[in-house]
Structure 1
Amino acid sequence: MKGNVQNRVKFVRWPAESDVREECRALHHLCLLIVEHGAPPPEQLGIYEDWVRPPIIPEDLQARVRQLADRAVVNAKPVLDPVGILYYKDSSITLSPTQCEMLTPLISRYSQLVYRTELREILEQSGSSSSSNALDLHVMRLRRRLQLVGLSLRNVWGRGFVVEPL
């Protein structure tokens, strides 16, 4: 299997090892629950979880493991949807239209520098004031919102800003 994804997935007997499942949830580890005969499957699953009932054929098992790995990769980078909701890991926040416009280049170049001039142009195009003070005020408000989902908006002095994990 590509990158040996199966080694990153914990196989947990459900419900016998529910304590191991809770550990996996807390640490955001990939977890495949093996539902024991006669037991009901868990009512709610986290983004990093899936479940199967034995016996399961190897091809189906590999497909479930790959899906779990894909979910982890998708969740490693923030996603801004068209209606103004930012998703990151297990959290989400709603943003104003101006915040969405400013955040678009920051998310598309996640962990990379976005120049102040580019953000000032975005403010100008949206009809907002694009002065340095106005930009700093928008950045301060955006920084507070991003902290709620575990992201940081770091200032690169004299150049611009970078969005990265807290």
Structure 2
Amino acid sequence: MISSARERSRPALIGWPADASRREELAEAGTPCLLLVDDGAPIPAVAEGEDWIHRGADERDVAARLAELARRGRSVRSVDAVPMALPAGLTADEHRVAVRLVATVGSLVPRADLPVGDLDATIARLRRPLGRDGWTILRIGAAGFLIERTGGGSC
């Protein structure tokens, strides 16, 4: 059981998907966590205060991600609590990218965190249905994308 504010702000390193139940406990406690993704496992959509890295990554990369999570602190927002309902009829790639973007509204999502075949085409296809609901996907140079509310729509 996590008991102090200091312990809650110290990021936890958990295996994914093996430790999914531990991830839920950490989210409820407000503890940031770094998901150590097993080879061949699907990349999870992460909530604010979470990040992921492949198992076997360089120790310096793991340490850097943990330090960044600690720096950002924790503001729990579950992927289930995204600020919009996703449009029906999305392909699997479109859905995966949309979930990742809306889980971090207003924050940059690096291209590397959006692992789909043709990312630019997937983003282009997403812009219309999300735009109808008042959302805009912005490309931030070569770094990645973010989604923001622009008004209108049914949300």
Which TM-score band applies after superposition, normalised by the shorter structure?
A: 0.3 to 0.5
Which is higher, the Rg of structure 1 or of structure 2?
Answer: 1
Larger relative CO (CA 8 A, sep 6+): 1 or 2? 2
Higher strand share: 1
- TM-score normalised by length of structure 2: 0.41
Q: TM-score scaled by structure 1?
A: 0.38
